[in-house]
Amino acid sequence: MPESYTDLYFPVLVQALVAMGLAAGLLTASFLLGKRVRNRVKDIPYESGITPTGDARQRFSVKFYLVAMLFILFDIEAIFLYPWVVVYRELKMFAFVEMLVFAILILSGFFYMWKKGALDWAEPDRSRRKL
């Protein structure tokens, strides 16, 4: 059983030092021992992979952002389930009803989003989307 603050965090310090030493050592070794080749092929993003085509700065469909945003929303809401699980045994029926209300609210949001066509990727239904 470690007694003091210093004892408690000493392993963390060792871990940090080892990590830094390892990184520094490998980089130095590669710098000293490695061969250096400089040509055009070396400068492309994936040296032995797919040849890049075009510019990276192109426009993406706004749908990507919409889906990403909706994903984050529902993802974060699902996180609330974790603390609920921890205290579920203790709170019993109360916790169950609370989570039921929460789930109904989330599902009505999900239903709204789905029916509104926010997830329709292929053909945007014009009449549904306005406003």
Query: What residues make contact with other proteins under the rule CB under 8 A?
Result: 90-91, 94, 97, 105, 108-109, 111-112, 115-116, 128, 131
In angstroms, give the least distance from the CB of 102 to other proteins. Answer: 12
Of 28 and 108, the one with the shorter C-beta distance to other proteins is 108
Helices (H), 34-124: 40-43, 62-79, 81-91, 93-115
Residue pair 61/50 in contact (Cβ under 8 Å)? The answer is no
Of 7 and 98, the one with the shorter C-beta distance to other proteins is 98
In this structure, what are the phi and psi dihedrals at residue 62, rounded to the nearest 5 degrees? -65, -20
How far is the C-alpha of 1 from the C-alpha of 57, rounded, in Å? 55
Of 68 and 97, the one with the shorter C-beta distance to other proteins is 97
For residue 66 the two structure tokens come to: 């919409």
In angstroms, give the least distance from the CB of 112 to other proteins. Answer: 5
In angstroms, give the least distance from the CB of 52 to other proteins. Answer: 36
